[in-house]
Amino acid sequence: MARLLRVDMTRREVKFTDVPEKYALLGGRALTSRIVADEVPPTCDPLGRFNKLVFAPGLLSGTNAPSSGRLSVGGKSPLTGGIKEANAGGITSQKLANLGIKAIVIEGKPAGEGWFLLKITPAGAELLDAGDLAGKGTYEVTAICRERYGSKVGVITIGPAGEMLLAAAGVTNNDPDGNSSRYAGRGGLGAVMGARRLKAIVVDSPKTFDAPVKDPEKFKAAAKKFTAILRKHPVTGEGLPNFGTSVLINVINEAGALPTRNFSAGRFARAQAVSGEKLAETAVARGGKATHACHPGCVMRCSNVYPLPDGKVCAPIEYESDWALGPNLEIGDLDVVGRLNYICNDVGLDTIETGVTLGVLMEAGVIPFGDGEAAIKALEEVGRGTYLGRIIGSGAAVAGKVFGVTRVPAVKGQGLPAYDPRACKGIGVTYATSPMGADHTSGYAVATNILKVGGYVDPLKPDGQVDLSRNLQIATAALDSTGLCLFVAFAVLDDPEGLPAIVEMINAQYGTQLTLDDVTELGKQILRTEREFNRQAGFTKEHDRLPEFFALEELPPHNTVFDIKGEELDQVYNF
Amino acid sequence: MARLLRVDMTRREVKFTDVPEKYALLGGRALTSRIVADEVPPTCDPLGRFNKLVFAPGLLSGTNAPSSGRLSVGGKSPLTGGIKEANAGGITSQKLANLGIKAIVIEGKPAGEGWFLLKITPAGAELLDAGDLAGKGTYEVTAICRERYGSKVGVITIGPAGEMLLAAAGVTNNDPDGNSSRYAGRGGLGAVMGARRLKAIVVDSPKTFDAPVKDPEKFKAAAKKFTAILRKHPVTGEGLPNFGTSVLINVINEAGALPTRNFSAGRFARAQAVSGEKLAETAVARGGKATHACHPGCVMRCSNVYPLPDGKVCAPIEYESDWALGPNLEIGDLDVVGRLNYICNDVGLDTIETGVTLGVLMEAGVIPFGDGEAAIKALEEVGRGTYLGRIIGSGAAVAGKVFGVTRVPAVKGQGLPAYDPRACKGIGVTYATSPMGADHTSGYAVATNILKVGGYVDPLKPDGQVDLSRNLQIATAALDSTGLCLFVAFAVLDDPEGLPAIVEMINAQYGTQLTLDDVTELGKQILRTEREFNRQAGFTKEHDRLPEFFALEELPPHNTVFDIKGEELDQVYNF
C-alpha cells in the first residue's frame, strides 16, 4: 500500500500517511506540483517556513519499465518565485517506489543551527543528527553515507551551496556507482532543502524493480514493446547509447544555435574540442566510459564517466553542462569543463545556472571570456562563501543586477539552457512560457526544430513554433509524471506505438483503463495547476517573455532575432 | 513660453520642443509619470536603451510660493521594475522653471565608454564631454562644476554608484551652499542616468523666483496666505524650523515604531544619542547649523549642517538617513551616522536603501549589528566597486537573495523607510500599495497615526488605515506635482485654508479656474497612470503586500503584527 511520508522539520517528526484518493494516479511532476499547489501558499517566501519540498518517484518508477527511474522534486522556487519541478535520474526514485513511498513532503524549519538527515528503510523513517555532514561537498557526504548505511543506499543530498541558501543550488542523488551527480538542479530546490536544514536523505531498499504491478503479464508485454521501440529509434537506440547527450554539441553548433560567449553567437569555433565525439574518445582513452546508465534498467545509457587529469572523475559531463561551462564561456577545453562541472556537483550547484551566471560575469568583465582557470578560481569561491562565491551561487539574474548587465539570458529569473532562441525559435517559446522559467526540458522543441524528430518546423521562422511548444509542453508534463526519462520522447514522437505502450504499462500497473486522451488531459491539468500557482504568486503574461536583447541583437551566423510577438506567446496556454 | 528639452544620448543631440497641450497643466510627478507612461515601454529593461529619465520642476517651482523648489525625477526603476518618481529639494528645480523648461527628457544610450555633461543656460543646451568627471564623487563633481561654470549654477549629478549602474543609486543636486546632498534617492534613478552615460546636468540661470505668473497680485496674496498657514502650524512653523526632521527620532521611538536592528524592535535604547535634539546641539557646538534651507524661499528650513570630526561636513542628516544608518543598525553614534551619510551622498547612494541593505547584511552576520566602523568600511567598498560594494549598492532585496536572508524589509524590491508597519499600520498600507514600492513619502500616514495631524487613527489597529492611506496617497500625488515640499502637508491637513491657498496660487500662475475637486482628480489620475504602467510591467495585487515576517513576528514593545489582510489592502485602489 503506497504511503506519503511527511516530515515536519519544526517538530522533527516523521509520519507515514495514507495516500489521498485524489493523488492515487499521480506521480512525479503531477504529484509534486499538485501537493505544492494544495499546500504551499503561492506568495510565501521560498526560504521561509511555509514552503515545502516534495519528492516523488514517477508512476512507473520501481518497475522494470525501461528508463523509468526519474525522481521529481518540487516546491516554490527561490530562483523564479514560481512553482518548480526538477527531476533527475539516479537510484533513489526506484528505491522509494519499492518502499511504497508515493511522495516525501518536507515541511517547516527547525529552530537553531542544527542539520539533519532523514533515514528511510523498509522498517520506517527517522530524523538523525547530521551535524558532522554540514559544510561537506556532495561527493564526501555520499561516500560517508554509503560507508555508514551500506553501499547500496541511495543518497539524496545538498552541497554547501544549498546550506548557504543560494538560489542556484540543486538537489542531487547518486548513480549506481555512488557518483553524487544526478541533479534535480534547476530552480534552487537545494536552497529550499537547506532552509529546512535537511542535509541528506538516505534511502535503503533491497529492491529495485519490485513495485507492485496489478497485471504483471500485461505489464511485461508492454514494457518489452516499449523497450523495442526505444532500441529501434536512431536517437534513443544509437545516438544516445553511443555518444551520450554531448553528441549535440556538433549538431547544435552546425545548426548555428549553440549559444557562444553569453549568447552573442550561434557557433563556437572550438566546438569540436568539447564535442561528444571528443568526450567519448578521451573518456575511453583515460579508462572512463563513453556511455553509462544513471539508474538500473536504462536502455539509453546516455551518460559518461570522464576521468579528469587530477585523478577525480566527473561522471557525467552532460550536454547542457558541457555547453554552459564550455562554449557559453568561450572555453574549448573538456578538462576545464569537467573541472567546473565537478565543482558544481560537489558544492551543489545547477550547472546550467552556474554556466549562465559565469557568462554574465564575463559579460561584466569580472572574468575574461575564455579564461578557464579564472572561471575555476571564481567557482571555487562558492564553497568558501565569499562575496563573489555567493553572487555566483545566486544565479544569473541576481549577478546581472549586481554588475549592471543588461544582456542577462534569463526568464522568470532562471538562466537559459543550451539553445539560442533566435536560431531555434520553438525552444524560445518554451523558455518564455514554461511555468518553470527558462527550461529546455519542459517542451523540447529542439527535437522538431533541429533534430527533425516528430516532424519538422523550421527553427529560424516564427511559424508553427507556438503550436509546437504547446503540444510538447503538454506531453512533457504528462511524461514527467511517469518517471520515464524525457529522452524516450524522441522515440515516442516518431513511433505511433510509443505512447500507447506507455499507457499500457500504466494501465497494467494500476489496473486502470486510461486512454491516450486521458494522458493528454493529465498533461494539460499539470500545466494549468502550475500556471495557476504562478498566477497566485503574482506572475502575469508579462513574465512570459524573453529578455529584450533577443529581439534586438541579430545572432550570427543566421542573423535572426527572436520575433515571436507577445500575443502569439500568450496563445501557448490556449487549451 | 515653456518648452521640453529632449536629449537623445544615442545621437548626442539636444533639442527644445513645444509643450504638448496635454502636458500644459502638469508638473513634477504628474508630468514625469505621464511622460514615462507615454514613452517608456513598461516591460523594457530599466538599464536598456528604451527607458528614459525625466526631470520636471513642479507647477509652482520658480515662483515665490513658499517651499516650492522640489524637482521630480522619473523613469522605470531598476530597483522595483515599476514606474518611479523621486523628488528632491536643492536649487535646480527653480532654475529650470525660470529657464522656461517644463521637463528634460533623457533618452537613448551613446555607443562607447564616454561620459557626458548636459549644460543648460539661458542661451540653450549642449552636451559636453565629461570624461574628466567620471569616477568622481558627487561632492567633487559639484565643486568642479561650480568652479568651471560659476558658483551659482545648479548641478544635478550621479556618483560612482550610478556610473556602476547600481540599483540603489540616486540622483542628487546641490543646495544654495553647493552641498551635493539633495537626493532624488529612491528607486535607482541614478543607475538610469548612468546607463545613459550622463554624469551631470549643469543648470545656469540668473533667476530664481521669476517664472511667469499670469496674475501676479492674486498670486502674491495667495502665497502670503500660504506662508502664514505654514508659519502658524506647530510642525511646519516650529518643530521643523527648530529641530529639523530628526526631531522624529524621539517621537517615533516613543511611539514604539522606530525600526531597530533590522526591524526586530520598535524602540532603540540609544535613540537619544541620535535624536534631532542631540543633532542640533552638536551641530551648533561645532559651528554647523541646527536648521538650514535646501532651496531659496523655504520657510520650514528643516535641514541641518553637521560638521564631522574629520573636518568634512554632512549637510544634512535627515531623519530617514539618521534612522537607516543609526537605529536600524543598532548604531547610536551621530558621528558614525554622519560619516555613513556622507559616504552615501558622495558615492551616490540612497541613504534609506543603503541603511536597509546594511541591516540585511547585519542580519546575515556579514557585519555585526552595532559595529559602526565595520559598516563604514563596508560602505567604502561601494566606490571601489568590490563584490561586497556592488552587493550593497544593489539594494536590500538583492542582498537578501545573495545571503539567503528571509527577514528582508522590502516591498516591490524597495527597502522600507523609518516606521515599522506593525506599530504604524497606516504607513504599512502605503508601503504595501504605493506604485513606488515601500515609500513613506507617497502617503505619509505617520502624520495621522502618530503625529495626530489631520485627525487621529490608532496606529496599532487595522481599522481605518486603508482609507487613511488612500486619501493621503491621492493628495500626495497631487502635491508632488506642485513642487511644494511634502512637509507643507502637515499644515494643509490641519488647516482648511491650506489646500485652497495652493489652488489659488496655481490658478493665479496659470490663469486657470481649478477647483479643489480638480486637484483631487489630478492625484487620482496620477495614481491610475502609475498603477497602469506597473500593471503593464507585470505587477499584480500580489506585489501589494508586505514581507511575510511582518505578519509572523510580534514587534516589541507593543507586540503587534501587521494584520491588515490582502483583500483590504486591495481596497486602496477603490476610487
pLDDT tens across B51-63, in order? 999 999 999 999 9
Short-list A39, A45, A41, A37, CA closest to A8: A39
Short-list B143, B144, B172, B178, CA closest to B159: B172
* Res. B278: pLDDT tops 90: yes
Q: What is the largest CA-CA distance in chain A?
A: 61
What are the C-alpha distances in Å from A251 to residues A30, A235, A420, B136? 32, 12, 13, 50
What CA–CA distance (Å, rounded) separates A191 from A198?
A: 10
Nearest to A390 among B45, B402, B540 (CB): B402
Best mutation target, B44, B79, B388, B401, to test chain A (most A CBs within 10 A): B401
For residue B371 the three cell numbers come to 559595529
Beta strands B303-307 and B289-292, pairing class: antiparallel
Nearest to B390 among A403, A540, A548 (CB): A403
Angle, nearest 10°, between helix axes B516-537 and B28-39? 40
Q: Is B268 helix (H, G, I), strand (E, B) or coil?
A: coil
Best mutation target, A83, A402, A567, to test chain B (most B CBs within 10 A): A402
Angle, nearest 10°, between helix axes A334-347 and A351-363? 120
What are the C-alpha distances in Å from B519 to residues B221, B500, B525? 20, 10, 10
Residues of B in CB contact (< 8 Å) with A are 42-45, 47-50, 78, 164-167, 191, 194-195, 386-388, 390-391, 394, 398, 401-404, 406, 536-540, 542-543, 545, 547-549, 552
* Res. B1: pLDDT tops 80: no
Q: What is the largest CA-CA distance in chain B?
A: 61
Instruction: Tell me the residue ranges of DSSP E strands in A384-471.
Output: 410-411, 414-415
Return the pLDDT at B370: 98
Best mutation target, B366, B402, B570, to test chain A (most A CBs within 10 A): B402
B398 and A403: CB-CB below 8 Å?
no
Q: Chain A closest CA to B313's CA: distance in Å?
A: 30
Instruction: Name every chain B residue with its beta carbon within 8 A of the beta carbon of A166.
Output: 404
A404 and B44: CB-CB below 8 Å?
no
Q: Chain B closest CA to A85's CA: distance in Å?
A: 21
How wide is the angle at C-alpha A364 spanned by C-alphas A541 and A381, nearest 5°? Answer: 100
- In the 8-state DSSP scheme, what is residue A235? I
B386 and A386: CB-CB below 8 Å?
no
What CA–CA distance (Å, rounded) separates B359 from B260?
A: 9
* Res. B241: pLDDT tops 80: yes
Region B279-303: mean pLDDT is 94
B48 and A406: CB-CB below 8 Å?
yes
Burial of B26 (0-12, 13-18, 19+ CB in 10 A): buried
Instruction: Name every chain A residue with its beta carbon within 8 A of the beta carbon of B166.
Output: 404
Return the pLDDT at B544: 98
B401 and A167: CB-CB below 8 Å?
yes
pLDDT band at B70 (very low <50, low <70, confident <90, very high): very high
Digitized pLDDT (tens) for each residue of chain A, 575 residues in all: 699 999 999 999 999 999 999 999 999 999 999 999 999 999 999 999 999 999 999 999 999 999 999 999 999 999 999 999 999 999 999 999 999 999 999 999 999 999 999 999 999 999 999 999 999 999 999 999 999 999 999 999 999 999 999 999 999 999 999 999 999 999 999 999 999 999 999 999 999 999 999 999 999 999 999 999 999 999 999 989 988 999 999 999 999 999 999 999 999 999 999 999 999 999 999 999 999 999 999 999 999 999 999 999 999 999 999 999 999 999 999 999 999 999 999 999 999 999 999 999 999 999 999 999 999 999 999 999 999 999 999 999 999 999 999 999 999 999 999 999 999 999 999 999 999 999 999 999 999 999 999 999 999 999 999 999 999 999 999 999 999 999 999 999 999 999 999 999 999 999 999 999 999 999 999 999 999 999 999 999 999 999 999 999 999 999 999 999 999 999 999 99
B402 and A388: CB-CB below 8 Å?
no
Instruction: Name every chain B residue with its beta carbon within 8 A of the beta carbon of A398.
Output: 398, 401-402
B391 and A406: CB-CB below 8 Å?
no
In chain A, which residues fall in CATH 1.10.569.10?
245-408
B542 and A43: CB-CB below 8 Å?
yes
Q: A396 to chain B: nearest residue by CA?
A: B402
Region B352-373: mean pLDDT is 98
Q: Chain A closest CA to B359's CA: distance in Å?
A: 17
For residue B478 the three cell numbers come to 497631487
Residues ≥6 apart with Cβ < 8 Å to B123 = none
Residues of A in CB contact (< 8 Å) with B are 42-45, 47-50, 78, 164-167, 191, 194-195, 386-388, 390-391, 394, 398, 401-404, 406, 536-540, 542-543, 545, 547-549, 552
A191 and B50: CB-CB below 8 Å?
no
Is CATH 1.10.569.10 correct for A245-408?
yes
Residues ≥6 apart with Cβ < 8 Å to A365 = none
CA B499 vs. chain centroid, Å, equals 22
Phi, psi (deg, nearest 5) at residue A231:
-70, -25
Q: B42 to chain A: nearest residue by CA?
A: A542
**Residues B59 and B93: beta-carbon distance below 8 Å:** no
B164 and A404: CB-CB below 8 Å?
yes
Strand partners for B83: B76
* Res. B243: pLDDT tops 90: no
**What's at B406, amino acid-wise?**
T
* Res. B487: pLDDT tops 80: yes
Instruction: Name every chain A residue with its beta carbon within 8 A of the beta carbon of B388.
Output: 387
Q: Is A186 helix (H, G, I), strand (E, B) or coil?
A: helix
Q: Is B156 helix (H, G, I), strand (E, B) or coil?
A: strand
In chain A, which residues fall in CATH 3.60.9.10?
3-203
pLDDT band at B212 (very low <50, low <70, confident <90, very high): very high
Residues ≥6 apart with Cβ < 8 Å to A521 = none
Short-list B81, B182, B187, B198, CA closest to B133: B198
Q: Is B58 helix (H, G, I), strand (E, B) or coil?
A: coil
The CA dihedral of A491, A493, A495, A496, to the nearest 10 degrees, is 140
Phi, psi (deg, nearest 5) at residue B529:
-60, -45
Which CATH superfamily includes the segment(s) B3-203?
Answer: Aldehyde ferredoxin oxidoreductase, N-terminal domain (3.60.9.10)
Return the pLDDT at A243: 84
A404 and B47: CB-CB below 8 Å?
yes
Annotate A15-74 with three-state secondary structure: EEEECCHHHCCCCHHHHHHHHHHHHCCCCCCCCCCCCEEEEEECCCCCCCCCCCCCEEEE
What CA–CA distance (Å, rounded) separates A573 from B81?
A: 25
Q: Which residue has the cell 502636458?
A: B23
Q: Chain A closest CA to B164's CA: distance in Å?
A: 7
A144-177 pLDDT tens trace: 999 999 999 999 999 999 999 999 999 999 999 9
Region B69-77: mean pLDDT is 98
Which strands make up the sheet holding B313-314, listed edge to edge?
Answer: B289-292, B303-307, B313-314
Q: Chain B closest CA to A562's CA: distance in Å?
A: 16
**Residues A253 and A326: beta-carbon distance below 8 Å:** no
Q: Chain B closest CA to A55's CA: distance in Å?
A: 23
What CA–CA distance (Å, rounded) separates B239 from B387?
A: 42
For residue A516 the three cell numbers come to 491516450
What CA–CA distance (Å, rounded) separates A78 from A80?
A: 6
CA A419 vs. chain centroid, Å, equals 16
**Residues A431 and A438: beta-carbon distance below 8 Å:** yes
Q: A366 to chain B: nearest residue by CA?
A: B387
B391 and A391: CB-CB below 8 Å?
yes
- ipTM given for this complex: 0.97
Exposure letters A166-203 (e unless 16+ CB within 10 A, then b): bbbbbbbbbbbebbbbbbbbbbbbbbbbbbbbbbbbbb
**Residues A84 and A77: beta-carbon distance below 8 Å:** yes
**Residues B464 and B428: beta-carbon distance below 8 Å:** no
A9-26 pLDDT tens trace: 999 999 999 999 999 999
Q: A537 to chain B: nearest residue by CA?
A: B542
Q: B164 to chain A: nearest residue by CA?
A: A404
Short-list B219, B248, B280, CA closest to B68: B219
What CA–CA distance (Å, rounded) separates B16 from B155?
A: 20
Size of interface A-B (CB pairs under 8 A): 89
Short-list A432, A401, A400, CA closest to A417: A432
Residues ≥6 apart with Cβ < 8 Å to B138 = B157, B158, B159, B172, B180, B181, B345, B346, B347, B348
Instruction: Name every chain A residue with its beta carbon within 8 A of the beta carbon of B43.
Output: 542, 545
Length of chain A: 575
A386 and B387: CB-CB below 8 Å?
yes
A540 and B540: CB-CB below 8 Å?
yes
Q: Chain B closest CA to A163's CA: distance in Å?
A: 10
Beta strands B410-411 and B414-415, pairing class: antiparallel
Q: Chain B closest CA to A361's CA: distance in Å?
A: 11
Q: Which sign does the torsion angle of CA A554, A560, A566, A569 carry?
A: negative
Q: B191 to chain A: nearest residue by CA?
A: A404
Q: Chain B closest CA to A197's CA: distance in Å?
A: 13
- In the 8-state DSSP scheme, what is residue B269? T
A538 and B543: CB-CB below 8 Å?
yes
Best mutation target, B166, B366, B387, to test chain A (most A CBs within 10 A): B387
For residue A329 the three cell numbers come to 564561456
Return the pLDDT at A353: 98
- Tell me the pLDDT of chain B averaged across its residues: 97
What CA–CA distance (Å, rounded) separates B171 from B179?
A: 13
What are the C-alpha distances in Å from B502 to residues A3, B221, B499, B527? 71, 11, 5, 20
Q: B541 to chain A: nearest residue by CA?
A: A538
CA B58 vs. chain centroid, Å, equals 14
- Distance linking the first and last C-alpha atoms of chain A: 35
Residues ≥6 apart with Cβ < 8 Å to A547 = A407, A408, A409, A410, A411, B45
**Residues A204 and A150: beta-carbon distance below 8 Å:** yes
DSSP result, B426-448: HHHHHHHH-TTSS-STTS-THHH
A42 and B542: CB-CB below 8 Å?
yes
Is CATH 1.10.3720.10 correct for A215-243+421-575?
no
